[in-house]
Amino acid sequence: MNHTTSHPAVETIAWQGDESGHLVLIDQTRLPLELVTLECRDVETVWEAIKMLRVRGAPAIGIAAAYGVVVGIRDMGDDPAELASRFDEVATYLATSRPTAVNLFWALSRMRDVFASLAGKPNDEIRSRLLAEAKAIHDEDRQMCRNIGRHGAELLGPSIKGVLTHCNAGGLATAEYGTALSVFFTAQDLGRELHVYVDETRPLLQGARLTAWELMQRNIPATLICDSMAAQVMREGRVQAVVTGADRIAANGDTANKIGTYSLAILARHHNIPFYIAAPSSTFDLSITSGSEIPIEQRQPDEITRGFGKQTAPEGVTVYNPAFDVTPASLITAIITERGVIDPVNQDAVARHLG
């Protein structure tokens, strides 16, 4: 049974034109009250959009960065040495925008590999091939999200009526269906009726501003809660599964995601509720053996003291604002990727899954 959906007419990420074109993004800092697009005609605008969370979510960041490379070199002339220098400058610059999301570095690495393979080719051909690679990354993510949803929906049996999610891992964070939300969207496509509890996700409220908006666009029943209410919601028996996305996964299955995810995993274990991570295989960083090695981005104090422009804390108070935390593999029931399900979650299972 197919359900009628009401997606926004504007794509989260879109490329306009040929290799001389530009990138268009939904400015997610303006949601849910305004649906505004941002035209990125230079690499500085792409960098700022990633840094300031106008585009966010690990897969979407990777896609935007790949297109950002094309934007950054589009006005170069025919001199191969100048193009090579500019390409390296642009790719290095974009890598400084967000330190935790591994998809950023994965996408830039793919663009570097393509560039290296085209040594000696005319600059026009190089630009054309780089745009084709960026579009391939975009299209692959769209298909990966659909596959994640298909594998994840199989885990949500008939006994699961209520689910809980954190931050935003939907179409706004990816190319289309998302990762965690793809599980819910696919369940809806299959005729399943789920009620989704949405953590508001302090301090930037991605759950309240973005996830609740996406679920309402799809006519999926959604209830918004403060992050600190999750334990009570679990104790009351309102949720039978937790599904979140991920920004980086270590070789042993330890997973970095938006701050507050670790707390949910502990609460889920206490209440005997399965805790699932949904993420594409590109989110795994096998060079990192455990979560202790994952760099955690520290963000500005005013996100907490002056959230959305209103001062809510004493002037001069000390602030600690890590954007992510790490959930140990031992607390994760399974990891859902486009290839299938990793269960149990440990180093051997991850290696077999990705091998």
Catalytic center residues: 247
CA 107 to chain centre: 13
- The beta-strand segments (E) located in 251-339 are 255-258, 275-278, 284-285, 324-327, 334-337
Helices (H), the chain: 43-51, 58-73, 80-94, 102-117, 123-153, 180-189, 206, 212-217, 230-235, 261-270, 302-305, 347-354
Q: Tell me which residue of 65, 73, 127, 71 sits closest to 96, measured CA to CA.
A: 65
CA atoms within 13 A on the CB side of 297: 20
Are 245 and 60 within 8 A, CB to CB?
A: no
Name the token pair of 167.
């931050």
| Residues facing residue 25 across a β-bridge | 13, 38
Q: Please enumerate in sequence order all residues whose Cβ is within 8 A of that of 250, keeping only pairs 6 or more positions apart, or say none.
A: 284, 285, 288, 289, 290, 291, 293, 294
Residue 11 to residues 22, 54, 211, 271, Cα–Cα distance (Å): 14, 14, 16, 38
Q: Tell me which residue of 11, 142, 14 sits closest to 71, measured CA to CA.
A: 14
Q: What is the DSSP letter of 322?
A: B
